[in-house]
Amino acid sequence: MSTMSDYERIRLVVLGGPGVGKSCIVKRFLTNTYCNKYRSTVEDLYNREYDLGHMTLKVDILDTAGDMQFPVMRRLCIATAHAFLLVYAVTSAPSFGCVKQCFEEIREQRKDYEDIPIVVAGNKLDLTASHREISVEDVSEWVYCQLPKLRVKILECSAKDDINIKEIFRSFLTLSKFLPKDNAVDSSGGLKRRSSAYVSATSKGKRRAESPLPEKDKASASGSAAAEGIHLAKPRSRSLIRRASRKAKQQIRDAQSIDECNVS
């Protein structure tokens, strides 16, 4: 991750086998909805802006296909990611094998893989009462014994029952050092969406298609967007950033909860 500033943009790429609930996790977090009908994903990109008090964080969440039909697209996703969410189903041992394969792809393509925040999430926790094939101990042994130097967090979750979904995304803030490890979080959990007064036209809850390539600089991003007919949001002016940042910090101090991330 790049060093923190008043305005940061990161890309989170979701990887895993087919049918493990990658899209369900993303939609539960973003819209608090769940659909039990399976629809194969090709590639879905979601954009959100969040106010962390001391900074504004723009997050691109890229939900990828669970199969290997699009290898070029998959390589591009891995190459442009700032963080990874690797999803398996606790009811499927083969799905955990897919997670291991995804990690091998990351290790092969990214020389900085040990510095990239990674969350390994075991979905479908709601089904473990009747069926479980992968325990959290199995995953921990693989991660902490074979891959001890990673910046990684292991969680089990349920998109259906909304268990640990917000914790997944809070973990990325901690691993990315946007939040300290011992940071206090309110009971509601999750990131706080920026108010409508500050949200750009492209982040008012409507999903917009964007180029999968990251912004290297303002000029190249604008040129790419113009070529593909994409409307990119303009970042706030630095004066507005500073005013909003000071106001947020004062509110945090008044509440005696310094650097608290209000999660939704």
pLDDT greater at residue 166 or residue 238: 166
Q: What is the pLDDT of residue 168?
A: 95
- Mean pLDDT over residues 148-167, rounded? 94
Q: Does residue 261 belong to any structural domain of this protein? A: no
Q: In this structure, is residue 31 part of a structural domain?
A: yes
Which CATH number do you get for residue 132? Answer: 3.40.50.300
The answer to whether position 21 is within a domain reads yes
Q: pLDDT of 1-52, one tens digit each?
A: 444 456 688 999 999 999 999 999 999 999 999 988 887 777 889 998 888 7
Cβ neighbours of 181 (radius 10 Å):
7
Domain assignment present for residue 237? The answer is: yes
Mean pLDDT for 211-226 is 44
Residue 226 has what pLDDT? 44
* 51 strand-pairing partners: 56
Asked whether residue 259 is domain-assigned, the answer is no
In terms of phi and psi (left: phi > 0; alpha: psi -120 to 50; beta: otherwise), the region of 124 is left
Half-sphere exposure of 58 (CA within 13 A, CB side): 20
- Residue closest to 142 by CA, chosen among 134, 113, 110: 134
When pLDDT is cut at 50, 70 and 90, the band that residue 186 belongs to is very low
Element (DSSP H or E) covering residue 177: none
Residue 247 is predicted with a pLDDT of: 58
- Whether residue 181 lies inside any domain: the answer is yes
DSSP 21: -
Asked if the model's pLDDT at residue 209 lies above 80, the reply is no
In a domain, 77, yes or no: yes
**Helix, strand, coil: what percent of the chain each, to 5?**
35, 20, 45
* 90 falls within a domain: yes
Structural domain containing residue 122 = 7-254
68 vs 132, residue with greater confidence: 132
For residue range 38-55, list pLDDT tens digits in order: 877 778 899 988 887 778
pLDDT grade for 67, boundaries at 50, 70 and 90: confident
Domain count, the chain: 1
Range name among 71-75, 91-95, 165-169 with the lowest pLDDT average: 71-75
Q: What is the 8-class DSSP label of residue 98?
A: H
| DSSP state at residue 141 | I
